[in-house]
Amino acid sequence: MKINSIVVGDLQTNCYLLEKNNEVLIIDPGDEAKKIITAIGDKKVVGCLLTHKHFDHIGALTEICSYYNIKPNDYKGNNFSYEVLETKGHTNDSVTYYFKNEKVMFCGDFIFYHSIGRTDLGGSDSDMLESLDKISLYDDDITLYPGHGPKTILGEEKKRFSLY
């Protein structure tokens, strides 16, 4: 699986384009639909997933879905396989997509490089702590792809969890 990240919108949201066998799965089409469509080129878009519904993660959703004729927050193929982990805290609809075979997670605004997401925009501190406990059980060598900023390694972030 190839992971292409493009930065979109005023809040510099990471929109991820996952590619496998010439098919593309989009995560968080935050803004700038044209930029996303150009980056996809002539590959086949098979789905679009959302980590949560803050405006900076869904800004181009409607345009992208109508352009590719796909449903929002939906994927039903068999090229990509992942688990959806409920990771509330930043918002109460926050999820993390875990691609076990590739050892990567797309965690939205749950965890950032050396930081975690705010909880004052529709989330809760207690949910955040619960989600950190939950994610602690996963392997240290998993790569995290956050909704903003650079990727990081779960093991590195775990060392900081006691600070939060």
Cβ-count burial 105-135 (b if 16+ within 10 Å, e if not): bbbbbbbbeeebbebeeebeeebbeebbeeb
Separation between Cα atoms, residue 3 and residue 110, nearest integer Å = 19
Pairing verdict, β 143-146 and 152-153:
antiparallel
CB of 104 to Zn ion, least distance (A): 20
Partnered with residue 26 across adjacent β-strands are 17, 48
Other beta carbons within 10 Å of 155? 12
CB of 90 to Zn ion, least distance (A): 6
In the complex with Zn ion, the residue whose CB is nearer, 40 or 87, is 87
Instruction: Using CB under 5 A, pick the residue from 8, 26, 27, 54 that binds Zn ion.
Output: 54
CB of 77 to Zn ion, least distance (A): 27
# residues near Zn ion by CB under 5 A: 2
Per CB under 5 A, 88 contacts Zn ion: no
In the complex with Zn ion, the residue whose CB is nearer, 54 or 88, is 54
Per CB under 5 A, 127 contacts Zn ion: no
Separation between Cα atoms, residue 76 and residue 70, nearest integer Å = 11
In the complex with Zn ion, the residue whose CB is nearer, 63 or 93, is 93
Instruction: Using CB under 5 A, pick the residue from 28, 31, 109, 157 that binds Zn ion.
Output: 109
For Zn ion, the binding residues (CB under 5 A) are: 54, 109
